């Protein structure tokens, strides 16, 4: 019986050991898995911390196992004593019935002991699991004290070096969106176009890279929604040399008058409308004023930025008189303006959810790219590029406001250079005093030369020649000398100067016969366009001009003529033009008088009624002219009656 009892006791210990081993292993694996998923650690630090955690866990499990074994030993000893006592009673009585009874009692005692062992094992397993959980918590708390720069996500390694740290300007722009959400079919139309043109968005992002951080910084400083940071995409696609048929220039597309009103200098040397820093400041001032004028409605402010405040005010008055809503989408505005604001709102949606439209935005680092370096004097841009150790074309793109081969003698006296090369530029610039930053030559005046011809020869302004040589009038005396500032390199080297950009545009092959025309006094774009059977806007575009830009005598124009009878001018085969007609055509404005009609006006100026209607789109043949109404005519003043 002793053997039987001991056998049962031995077997009762085996499940407990197996249970203890299984519980400890499972707990360890669970603790490690939770640690790996919840926290990001460097590989070496993680391995070391896990080893420490496992060591502590095993030690606690060992203590728990010893504690459980002692309890079991006490229980088994008590059971063994009881069992021995029952066995000795059986031997003394020697009664079969009593023996059977005692045997049954022994079996019940053994069963009870096994159940107690199982209960003790379950209690021990629960204690060990609790201790393992405490060990896991302790390990987690220990690992949380690791420095942030030691953490990384094993599964995302290589995709984000600094998790949780925003290094992309697009994310900053998204967080700064604050204009009211809008739904309209015009927005959807523009959104579809942008979503289909991944390559366009790539080009825009590449052009925006040097400027975007500065623009965002300035907008945030003036509490302007960061949707406005996307406005240069609508205006110019971030082309720093963009020039529209309406004479608007730069990434913010200022027309000359508005640019001057907001402090943007414009002269032969420099155009502040293309200066990214100066034009951004001016755009913020203009938008802030429009936002205030239209009582906090950014959509109306943007419409006014595009078409002018007068057009928006008239459209609002028109709707108010008829009891109609005065929101942007309800106003009668120019066609361009109707789609101008929806373009911006479509871009906002695209930037906010690029993955939704299967667009990948090229990352732009959210950190300064440029540094402004003060010069205190004029400098040759080729020399400046050498001192900054960058390419000349790159310097022009960062400083597109400068039209010529040098900065303006009257300022601004600063340059924007990449932050990475700013210190180099400053150090090298210190070795060049102001008098060495421009090359000077002596020009002897020849008979027949004028200030204008000399200025064109050396690619400088007439004002510069007068200022440097203290000339008050315009007369020159042959044989006298002039001091002239000149470029240090060939003019063709300055590829992004105004003259070289124009030359490149003129030399693009197009349909028609190429004609080079030297502008004479009295020439107009309309006259030349009619003579060569081309459009005025086409002619202006071929020569990097706007249709309303003035023509200066001596200016060279390229015309892709549809007139096959074009011939050489001045017996010079390199300068040819169509044969001149005996007319002097001018654009005039006429105010309608009492009794005037389209036919009467046409006969008076010897033009046709159809020409009048073509020149004046708002005039309808079926409607009467009103006294005081203004119309435009292009007439030959040599034939016009008095």
We report the CATH number of the domain holding residue 486 as 3.10.350.10
Judge whether 555 and 518 are in contact, CB under 8 Å: yes
In a domain, 60, yes or no: yes
Q: Are residues 352 and 224 in the same domain?
A: yes
This model's pTM is above 0.85? no
- Provide the pLDDT for residue 527: 87
Quote the mean pLDDT of the chain: 77
In a domain, 68, yes or no: yes
Judge whether 103 and 86 are in contact, CB under 8 Å: no
pLDDT tens-place string over residues 218-235: 999 999 999 999 999 999
- Provide the pLDDT for residue 585: 60
Under the banding of pLDDT at 50, 70 and 90, the label for residue 62 is very low
- Provide the pLDDT for residue 601: 87
Q: Are residues 80 and 179 in the same domain?
A: no
Alpha helices in 94-197 (DSSP H): 96-143, 169-175, 185-196
Q: Are residues 471 and 530 in the same domain?
A: no
Range of the domain at 105: 2-150
Where would I find the beta strands (DSSP E) of 496-565? 513-518, 556-561
Under the banding of pLDDT at 50, 70 and 90, the label for residue 636 is low
Q: Are residues 219 and 112 in the same domain?
A: no
How many Cα atoms sit within 13 Å of 152 on the Cβ side? 15
Dihedral pair phi/psi, residue 591, rounded to 5°? -95, 125
What is the Cα–Cα distance from 124 to 210, expressed in whole angstroms?
67
Q: Are residues 112 and 63 in the same domain?
A: yes
For residue 573, pLDDT over 80 is answered with no
For residue 394, pLDDT over 50 is answered with yes
Pairing, β 630-636 against β 585-591? antiparallel
- Boundary of a domain, candidates 123, 150, 177: 150
Highest mean pLDDT among 59-73, 279-293, 431-445, 473-487: 279-293
In a domain, 28, yes or no: yes
What is the Cα–Cα distance from 298 to 184, expressed in whole angstroms?
16
For residue 625, pLDDT over 50 is answered with yes
For residue 559, pLDDT over 50 is answered with yes
**How many domains, in total, are found in the chain?**
5
- Provide the pLDDT for residue 547: 87
What is the Cα–Cα distance from 227 to 336, expressed in whole angstroms?
19
Q: Are residues 246 and 314 in the same domain?
A: yes
Beta-carbon contacts of 8 under 8 Å, excluding residues fewer than 6 positions away, are: 110, 113, 114
Instruction: List the one residue out of 87, 120, 123, 84 whose CA is nearest residue 102.
Output: 87
- Provide the pLDDT for residue 566: 58
- Boundary of a domain, candidates 458, 493, 528: 493
Where in the sequence numbering do the catalytic residues fall?
235
In a domain, 641, yes or no: no
For residue 75, pLDDT over 50 is answered with no
What is the Cα–Cα distance from 360 to 197, expressed in whole angstroms?
11
- Boundary of a domain, candidates 357, 388, 407: 357
Judge whether 408 and 379 are in contact, CB under 8 Å: no
For residue 241, pLDDT over 90 is answered with yes
What is the Cα–Cα distance from 61 to 133, expressed in whole angstroms?
11
In a domain, 339, yes or no: yes
- Provide the pLDDT for residue 297: 96
What is the Cα–Cα distance from 124 to 21, expressed in whole angstroms?
12
Q: 481 has which bridge partners?
A: 444
User: In 3-state terms, what secondary structure has residue 136?
Assistant: helix
Beta-carbon contacts of 421 under 8 Å, excluding residues fewer than 6 positions away, are: 388, 389, 390
For residue 312, pLDDT over 90 is answered with yes
The mean-pLDDT minimum among 91-105, 333-347, 470-484 falls in 91-105
Mean pLDDT of 193-204: 96
- Provide the pLDDT for residue 367: 94
Q: Are residues 572 and 590 in the same domain?
A: no
Mean pLDDT of 433-458: 90
In a domain, 500, yes or no: no
Q: Are residues 453 and 545 in the same domain?
A: no
Judge whether 144 and 39 are in contact, CB under 8 Å: yes
For residue 74, pLDDT over 80 is answered with no
Q: In Å, how far from its chain's centre is CA 496?
A: 23
What is the Cα–Cα distance from 98 to 427, expressed in whole angstroms?
114
In a domain, 399, yes or no: yes
- Residue 301's CATH number: 1.10.530.10
Q: Are residues 565 and 596 in the same domain?
A: no
Q: Are residues 173 and 316 in the same domain?
A: yes
The mean-pLDDT minimum among 3-12, 238-247, 366-375, 615-624 falls in 3-12
In a domain, 239, yes or no: yes
């Amino acid at each position: 019986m002793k053997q039987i009892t001991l056998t049962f006791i031995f077997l009762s210990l085996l499940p407990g050991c197996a249970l203890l081993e299984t519980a400890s292993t499972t707990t360890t694996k669970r603790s490690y898995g939770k640690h790996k998923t919840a926290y990001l650690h460097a590989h070496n630090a993680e391995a070391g911390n896990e080893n420490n955690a496992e060591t502590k866990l095993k030690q606690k499990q060992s203590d728990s196992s010893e504690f459980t074994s002692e309890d079991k030993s006490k229980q088994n000893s008590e059971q063994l004593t009881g069992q021995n006592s029952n066995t000795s009673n059986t031997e003394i009585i020697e009664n079969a019935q009593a023996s059977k009874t005692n045997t049954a009692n022994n079996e019940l005692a053994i069963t009870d002991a096994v159940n107690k062992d199982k209960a003790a094992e379950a209690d021990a397993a629960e204690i060990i699991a609790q201790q393992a959980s405490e060990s896991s918590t302790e390990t987690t708390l220990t690992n949380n004290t690791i420095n942030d720069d030691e953490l990384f996500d094993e599964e995302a390694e290589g995709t984000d070096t600094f998790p949780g740290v925003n290094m992309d300007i697009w994310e900053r722009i998204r967080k700064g969106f604050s204009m009211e959400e809008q739904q309209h079919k015009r927005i959807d139309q523009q959104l579809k176009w942008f979503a289909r043109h991944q390559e366009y968005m790539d080009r825009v992002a590449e052009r925006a890279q040097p400027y975007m951080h500065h623009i965002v910084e300035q907008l945030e400083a003036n509490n302007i929604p960061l949707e406005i940071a996307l406005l240069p995409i609508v205006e110019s696609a971030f082309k720093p040399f963009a020039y529209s048929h309406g004479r608007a220039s730069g990434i913010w597309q200022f027309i000359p008058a508005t640019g001057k009103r907001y402090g943007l200098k414009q002269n032969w040397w420099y155009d502040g409308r293309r200066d990214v820093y100066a034009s951004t400041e001016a755009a913020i001032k203009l938008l802030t004023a429009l936002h205030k004028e239209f009582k906090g409605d950014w959509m109306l402010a943007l419409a006014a930025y595009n078409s002018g405040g007068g057009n928006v005010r008239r459209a609002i008055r028109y709707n108010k008189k008829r009891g109609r809503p005065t929101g942007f989408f309800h106003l009668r505005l120019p066609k361009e303006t109707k789609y101008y604001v929806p373009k911006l709102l479509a871009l906002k949606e695209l930037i906010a959810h690029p993955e939704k439209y299967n667009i990948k935005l090229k990352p732009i680092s959210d950190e300064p790219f440029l540094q402004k370096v003060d010069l205190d004097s004029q400098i040759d841009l080729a020399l400046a590029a050498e001192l900054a150790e960058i390419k000349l074309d790159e310097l022009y793109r960062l400083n597109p406001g400068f039209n010529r081969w040098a900065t303006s003698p009257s300022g601004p006296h600063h340059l924007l250079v990449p932050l990475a090369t700013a210190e180099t530029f400053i150090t090298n610039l210190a070795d060049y005093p102001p008098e060495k930053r421009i090359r000077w030559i002596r020009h002897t005046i020849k008979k027949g030369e004028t200030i204008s011809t000399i200025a064109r020869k050396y690619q400088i302004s007439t004002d510069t020649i007068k200022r440097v040589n203290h000339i008050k009038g315009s007369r020159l005396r042959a044989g006298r000398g002039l001091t002239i500032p000149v470029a240090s390199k060939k003019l063709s080297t300055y590829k992004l100067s105004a003259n070289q950009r124009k030359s490149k545009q003129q030399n693009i092959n197009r349909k028609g016969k190429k004609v080079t025309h030297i502008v004479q006094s009295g020439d107009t774009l309309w006259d030349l366009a009619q003579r060569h059977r081309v459009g005025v806007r086409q002619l202006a575009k071929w020569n990097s001009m706007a249709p309303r830009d003035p023509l200066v005598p001596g200016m060279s124009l390229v015309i892709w003529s549809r007139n096959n009878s074009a011939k050489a001018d001045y017996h010079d085969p390199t300068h040819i033009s169509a044969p001149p007609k005996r007319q002097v055509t001018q654009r005039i404005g006429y105010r309608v008088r009492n009794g005037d009609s389209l036919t009467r006006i046409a006969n008076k100026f010897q033009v046709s009624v159809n020409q009048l209607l073509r020149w004046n789109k708002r005039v309808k043949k079926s409607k009467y002219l009103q006294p005081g109404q203004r119309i435009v005519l292009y007439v030959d003043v040599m034939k016009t009656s008095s």
